[in-house]
Chains A and B, each alone.
Chain A
């Protein structure tokens, strides 16, 4: 009963009217809340892409036989490697790798065909530029995969048969475990699905916090806070009235962003869309919560922005929004566990791509709610302290 009275009380209604009127007249704020995040979502998701393909491969073919050419064509026929030129010495190819003209090089030894025909194993050397650890790891997987399939096709050329004879006698020979990988939920391994769902939460939090901080601080900057304090409303009412219009605008942004995720990036919507919206609503509130707390520490919009320079890197890096959260080192993991961006991205990814429901996502909702409540209470407490 009391809650209803609070929510629909005339004081809060009056305050809400004031805040909405303010936002309505401030077209720039409304635009800046919706337009830039949507553009950023588009740009970020197109640009941030970890896919490793078309690696520039240099080739040294010392054997120059049909067999070795067969190997090079097998290597370059897939999308993983792209032929970038033949070289005649390892030094030259090494130079090309160090200049960045090549990502990888392969050296086929001069006795390649001869050894194969004699039934002896041959080693082909791959040189990978491992500067980027991720590219190197994936390129290694590609190279080994290509060699593995190449070995299987060798059977057709009669070489494989000879190898089977040389190898251990049939009786003691053991079978192989043939590993096949299948990708669930995203069989084409579209990279943007991961990035766009992460960036979504990132943008909600970063934009929400900065807008909330500036709009809270504005009253103080312009001195109108005195009038606000003189009115008979309580601190909670003032803060709730401040939050409501921002929440409304940010939720509009969420709707636009969801449409983009659906229609531009073709992310499947397996789960219930209400779960996504509920998560987004909580995420907006925690973003606003961060902003209101920031606002109580600063005296001008400019200072609030500067302070966000200290907070945002922390929130962004420990979020797992664009890089896997497991890769964050142990001493930062506590931050990952309370980070609203992290929890929202889990909700968005699981519900959209995998169709998870509330029964598995409730811990994330719980953390988001606790985070919001703590942040808003903290700002109310700080706000009150400043009054006295």
Chain B
């Protein structure tokens, strides 16, 4: 035990004295959270919508005003003489609203009048959002404009659970938190372990009385401490700037965080022990920690959308389970019944990484 702690102390001193590593450990996660948590969002506001009002009557003006009032759209006037797709080719608008001739007259007479929304489909998700929102605007205009004009037999009352304001920040913030914890602690662990091999200080370890378990645990504990510091820093930001708080029982989150820190630090140590070259080891961690977690864990886009031929891979991605736990703790509050098995899987993956790291180091002698 004493030897492990001596090693932890040595490693921590090394990190504190290395300015690049220190900023990598503390500043970069914060930067990542602030940047990506804010900027990654699929829901857009102020979408430019060009309006071609062929009618130009008081009714059509009221109709356009309804669009002006919504925060989703930003109405820009557009000449009726130009073909609507010009607006898309010039990237001036995301959609063109076309109000036909006699719109006002038809409405007053009690005839239905078709209104067209032409949407630039090259960004399919935004196109879908525009279609949904514009239908809502038209609907609410219909109900307010015609007074008791027409009663819809069935009405949908839609309740948004867990994130009533539908804030993207609250969804992506926890995701980026997981991404940061999946990338930086293992990166530092890899660099520290690979450095021993690269600079041949590993020889001193070999000749000392330290055992393979102690050596690996020393490294892992160090970077678990780093991970906890990062976790506290990032949680502070999530709780203040992102406006999140624990939605329910925080114990699954705490247990999972300890296990996840162990899991990722073991991953880093494993890679570092296997590849005694800092640059190559770093690339391996960037691939495992960043690329796989970023793509295959449902961080931005849902896992169900991954083609089935690759989707099974995501079952092995440790970040996927932790993301679910963090989102549950901060948004849903399902607690232990919802996530207990995910906590278990993180522990299993972590122990696999540990075993692999140990197998690599166990002989504590130079490879023949």
Residue positions of A touching B, CB distance < 8 A: 43-44, 46-52, 54, 71, 94, 97-100, 116, 121-138, 140-145, 147-148, 150-151, 154, 159-160, 163-164, 166-168, 170, 172-187, 189-191, 193-194, 301-303, 305-306, 309-310, 313-314, 317-318, 322-324, 326-329, 332, 346, 349-350, 353-356, 360
Would you call B38 and A332 a contact (CB within 8 A)?
yes
Residue positions of B touching A, CB distance < 8 A: 20, 24, 28, 31-32, 35-36, 38-47, 63, 85, 88-91, 103, 106-136, 138-139, 141-142, 145-164, 166-168, 170-171, 278-279, 282-283, 295-296, 300-302, 304-307, 310, 324, 327-328, 331-334, 337-338
Would you call B91 and A174 a contact (CB within 8 A)?
no
Q: Determine the residue in chain B with the shortest Cβ distance to A143.
A: B156
Would you call A50 and B121 a contact (CB within 8 A)?
no
Would you call B149 and A148 a contact (CB within 8 A)?
no
Q: How far is the CB of A190 from chain B (nearest CB, A)?
A: 6
Would you call A141 and B171 a contact (CB within 8 A)?
no
Would you call B91 and A98 a contact (CB within 8 A)?
no
Of B45, B134, B157, B327, which one neighbours A126 at CB under 8 angstroms? B157
Would you call B163 and A131 a contact (CB within 8 A)?
yes
Of A54, A99, A168, A177, most B-chain CB atoms within 10 Å: A177
Given contacts A52-B128, A124-B157, A130-B163, contact A176 B338 (CB under 8 A): no
Of A97, A186, A354, which one neighbours B89 at CB under 8 angstroms? A354
Would you call B159 and A175 a contact (CB within 8 A)?
no
Would you call A50 and B333 a contact (CB within 8 A)?
no
Would you call B166 and A137 a contact (CB within 8 A)?
yes
Would you call A327 and B89 a contact (CB within 8 A)?
no
Given contacts A43-B295, A140-B132, A194-B123, contact A176 B150 (CB under 8 A): yes
Of B39, B125, B279, which one neighbours A328 at CB under 8 angstroms? B39
Would you call B331 and A163 a contact (CB within 8 A)?
no
Given contacts A167-B148, A183-B127, contact A305 B282 (CB under 8 A): yes
Given contacts A125-B157, A181-B134, A302-B278, contact A170 B110 (CB under 8 A): yes
Which residues does chain B contribute within 8 Å of A49, judged by CB atoms?
A: 301, 305-306
Q: Determine the residue in chain A with the shortest Cβ distance to B35.
A: A317
| Other A-B pairs beyond A124-B154, A145-B135, A174-B146, 17, CB < 8 Å | A48-B301, A130-B166, A136-B166, A137-B132, A137-B166, A141-B135, A145-B132, A159-B153, A178-B113, A180-B116, A184-B118, A185-B122, A186-B121, A313-B35, A324-B44, A326-B46, A354-B88
Would you call A100 and B324 a contact (CB within 8 A)?
yes
Given contacts A128-B160, A178-B115, A180-B114, contact A154 B132 (CB under 8 A): no
Of A71, A123, A133, which one neighbours B166 at CB under 8 angstroms? A133
Which residues does chain A contribute within 8 Å of B42, judged by CB atoms?
A: 50, 133-134, 323-324, 327
Q: How far is the CB of B328 from chain A (nearest CB, A)?
A: 8
Of B43, B103, B136, B302, which one neighbours A144 at CB under 8 angstroms? B136
Q: Determine the residue in chain B with the shortest Cβ distance to A174.
A: B146
Of A44, A176, A302, A306, which one neighbours B24 at CB under 8 angstroms? A306
Which residues does chain A contribute within 8 Å of B114, judged by CB atoms?
A: 178, 180
Would you call A46 and B310 a contact (CB within 8 A)?
yes
20 contacts between A and B (CB under 8 A): A100-B338, A116-B153, A124-B154, A131-B163, A133-B42, A140-B136, A141-B132, A143-B158, A151-B152, A160-B153, A166-B151, A174-B107, A177-B141, A177-B142, A178-B138, A180-B116, A186-B121, A191-B125, A193-B124, A327-B41
Of B122, B125, B157, which one neighbours A51 at CB under 8 angstroms? B125
Would you call A350 and B91 a contact (CB within 8 A)?
yes
Q: With A and B bound together, what is the CA distance between A349 and B89 in angstroms?
A: 10
Given contacts A98-B333, A137-B132, contact A46 B158 (CB under 8 A): no
Q: Determine the residue in chain B with the shortest Cβ distance to A349.
A: B122
Would you call A46 and B302 a contact (CB within 8 A)?
no
Which residues does chain B contribute within 8 Å of A132, judged by CB atoms?
A: 171, 302
Would you call A177 and B331 a contact (CB within 8 A)?
no
Q: How far is the CB of A39 from chain B (nearest CB, A)?
A: 11
Q: With A and B bound together, what is the CA distance between A335 and B290 in angstroms?
A: 23
Which residues does chain A contribute within 8 Å of B282, judged by CB atoms?
A: 302, 305-306
Q: With A and B bound together, what is the CA distance between A189 and B123 in angstroms?
A: 8
Would you call B300 and A175 a contact (CB within 8 A)?
no
Q: How far is the CB of A96 from chain B (nearest CB, A)?
A: 10
Would you call B121 and A187 a contact (CB within 8 A)?
yes
Q: How far is the CB of B273 from chain A (nearest CB, A)?
A: 18
Which residues does chain A contribute within 8 Å of B162, judged by CB atoms?
A: 98, 129-131
Would you call A144 and B124 a contact (CB within 8 A)?
no
Of A52, A131, A163, A356, which one neighbours B171 at CB under 8 angstroms? A131
Which residues does chain A contribute within 8 Å of B307, judged by CB atoms?
A: 46-47
Would you call B334 and A98 a contact (CB within 8 A)?
yes
Given contacts A131-B163, A138-B132, contact A356 B89 (CB under 8 A): yes
Given contacts A179-B135, A327-B44, contact A128 B121 (CB under 8 A): no
Would you call B39 and A327 a contact (CB within 8 A)?
yes
Of A141, A148, A305, A346, which one neighbours B91 at CB under 8 angstroms? A346
Which residues does chain A contribute within 8 Å of B168, judged by CB atoms?
A: 133-134, 327
Q: Determine the residue in chain A with the shortest Cβ distance to B179.
A: A313
Q: With A and B bound together, what is the CA distance between A151 and B154 in angstroms?
A: 6
Which residues does chain B contribute within 8 Å of A125, judged by CB atoms?
A: 156-159
Would you call A99 and B122 a contact (CB within 8 A)?
no
Q: With A and B bound together, what is the CA distance between A35 and B91 in angstroms?
A: 33
Of A130, A159, A185, which one neighbours B88 at CB under 8 angstroms? A185
Which residues does chain A contribute within 8 Å of B151, judged by CB atoms?
A: 121, 163, 166-167
Q: How far is the CB of B159 from chain A (nearest CB, A)?
A: 5
Would you call B39 and A332 a contact (CB within 8 A)?
yes
Q: With A and B bound together, what is the CA distance between A317 and B306 in angstroms?
A: 22
Would you call B24 and A309 a contact (CB within 8 A)?
yes
Of B127, B283, B305, which one neighbours A305 at CB under 8 angstroms? B283
Would you call A133 and B43 a contact (CB within 8 A)?
yes
